[in-house]
Amino acid sequence: MSAQIRRDTGTPRAAEPELVARARAGDREAFAALYVQHQHFVFRYLLFRTRNRHLAEDLTQEVFARALRRITSYTWQGAAFTAWLLTIARNLHLDEVRTSRTRLETLVPELEDTDTHDRSAESTALRELETVETLAAVRDALHSLSPHQRRCLELRYIGEMSSAETAHTMGRSIGAVRGLTFRAMQKLRTATEANAA
């Protein structure tokens, strides 16, 4: 990685329009800096959607390949560059689901292979099963949300966007986004408490 990319990735989000402009002009280092800044957001979003680390990694690379091919058509509109990337990621994930290349399954983390059969292995297995059950409960609770509420939470908490950025991305007012977030969180609380009972 060049010193220029390291300098660019350490810059605050305010420098993003400049990086985007340079990338649109064909500057590969500027696009690489955008990749470094946003790759983890896109990956987390896709991992949450797919629940499959390898598929999420593959789709993340495809998101940036598409973004690179289409960067000249991107127009800065005041929202974070992440919003555009997450839109590409969302569409890729929907394509993946539509073509049935993925199976809907809950992945259980691999248990470490140990020769010793002691209580620590049993404790580890119980903790991992509890984690899987918790994730399943959260996933079930998320399905109780409306599509707008789910999208709002994805942008706010997985995409780590501000209320203003989420509002701009969703084409809503900041007040509407705050209301959606509040109602979605209430619904999630109710759903998770019902699952725990």
Looking at residue 7, what is its pLDDT? Answer: 40
Which residues are CB-contacts of 122 (< 8 A; sequence separation ≥ 6)?
none
Q: Which of 90, 10, 5 is nearest to 50 (CA)?
A: 90
Looking at residue 102, what is its pLDDT? Answer: 44
Looking at residue 109, what is its pLDDT? Answer: 52
Looking at residue 196, what is its pLDDT? Answer: 62
Confidence check: pLDDT of 4 > 80 = no
The stretches of the chain forming alpha helices (DSSP H) are: 3-9, 16-24, 28-50, 53-70, 81-98, 119-143, 147-153, 163-170, 174-196
Residues 81-137: pLDDT tens digits? Answer: 888 898 899 889 888 887 755 454 445 555 454 444 455 666 666 666 666 666 666
Mean pLDDT of 38-51: 88
Helix (H, G, I), strand (E, B) or coil at 11: coil
Confidence check: pLDDT of 36 > 90 = yes
77 vs 90: CA distance, rounded Å? 19
Looking at residue 31, what is its pLDDT? Answer: 92
Q: Where are the domains of the chain?
A: 1-107, 119-197
Residues 128-146: pLDDT tens digits? Answer: 666 666 666 667 777 788 8
| pLDDT level of residue 13 (50, 70, 90 thresholds) | very low
Q: How far is CA 146 from the centre of its chain?
A: 18
| pLDDT level of residue 10 (50, 70, 90 thresholds) | very low
Q: Class of the 119-197 domain?
A: mainly alpha
Looking at residue 134, what is its pLDDT? Answer: 65
Model pTM greater than 0.75? no
The more confidently predicted of residues 109 and 29 is 29
Whether 1-107 and 119-197 share one fold: the answer is no
Residues 154-195: pLDDT tens digits? Answer: 888 777 778 888 888 888 898 998 998 888 888 878 876 776
Could you tell me which CATH number the domain at 1-107 has? Answer: 1.10.1740.10
Q: Which of 50, 74, 80, 46 is nearest to 60 (CA)?
A: 46
